[in-house]
């Protein structure tokens, strides 16, 4: 009989995989006329905001030892994405129809469908080798695409609107700075923070795929 923790992880990862699959299909529909990529947020934005918010559970999973992941790295990824969709994108309608939003959402949805499917099937030990390979290979092009022409370009486009509206002025006044200054700082630090996550997944790739190769040779 499966342990409750395993059943919980199976349910959580399966629901996330289904949710991101729906988001991916909605984004694909944006490529078919008369719809355009400019409608990516309208098509899948609310769903992605929900899925990303729920992903805070992954930080808790790591913190309590439910999964062998660094709580700091889990929080770093969750915090970066959640800030992007809730604090920035959801609050500035003018950038929601940018092609960079479509690029971001598409890169996220493809990688998350693969990642959560892999996690769910690995939980019950029936994950096929091709999916494991895809999990630790697809990120190589998807992560840079999602971050560069996706997230960072969207944040850059949002800067004039953030400054004009003085967003979150009440909160940031406590730190003698503005959200605009904070966002500029985030943009400057983003490549370094992202690189830390990117290299971490490369280490995972070497470990997981190397282990699979050793099993084949055994």
Q: Give the span between the Cα atoms of 117 and 190, in whole angstroms.
A: 28
Q: Which of 12, 41, 136, 143 is catalytic?
A: 143
**Within 10 A of 8 (CB to CB), how many other CB atoms are there?**
15
Helix (H, G, I), strand (E, B) or coil at 168: coil
> Do residues 95 and 161 make contact, with C-beta atoms less than 8 angstroms apart?
yes
Helix (H, G, I), strand (E, B) or coil at 34: coil
Q: Is 179 a catalytic residue?
A: no
Q: Is 143 a catalytic residue?
A: yes
3-state SS of 101-128 is: HHHHHHHHHHHHHHHHHHHHHHHCCCCC
Q: Which of 41, 119, 136, 151 is catalytic?
A: 151
Helix (H, G, I), strand (E, B) or coil at 178: coil
> Do residues 23 and 105 make contact, with C-beta atoms less than 8 angstroms apart?
yes
> Do residues 12 and 51 make contact, with C-beta atoms less than 8 angstroms apart?
no
- Which residues are catalytically annotated? 143, 151
């Amino acid at each position: 009989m499966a342990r409750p923790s395993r059943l919980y992880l199976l349910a959580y990862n399966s629901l996330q995989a289904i949710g991101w699959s729906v988001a991916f299909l909605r984004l694909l529909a944006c490529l078919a006329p008369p719809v355009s990529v400019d409608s990516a947020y309208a098509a899948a934005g609310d769903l992605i905001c929900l899925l990303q918010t729920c992903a805070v559970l992954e930080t808790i999973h790591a913190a309590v030892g439910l999964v062998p992941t660094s709580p700091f790295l889990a929080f770093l990824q969750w915090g970066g994405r959640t800030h992007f969709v809730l604090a920035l994108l959801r609050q500035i309608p003018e950038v929601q129809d940018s092609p960079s939003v479509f690029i971001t959402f598409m890169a996220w949805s493809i990688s998350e469908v693969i990642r959560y499917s892999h996690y769910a099937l690995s939980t019950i030990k029936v994950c096929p080798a091709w999916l494991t390979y895809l999990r630790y290979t697809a990120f190589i092009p998807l992560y840079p695409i999602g971050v560069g022409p996706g997230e960072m370009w969207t944040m850059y486009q949002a800067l004039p609107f953030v400054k004009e509206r003085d967003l979150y002025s009440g909160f940031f006044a406590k730190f003698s700075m503005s959200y605009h200054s904070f966002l500029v700082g985030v943009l400057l630090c983003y490549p370094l923070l992202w690189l830390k996550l990117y290299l971490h997944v490369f280490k995972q790739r070497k470990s997981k795929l190397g282990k699979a190769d050793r099993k084949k040779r055994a």
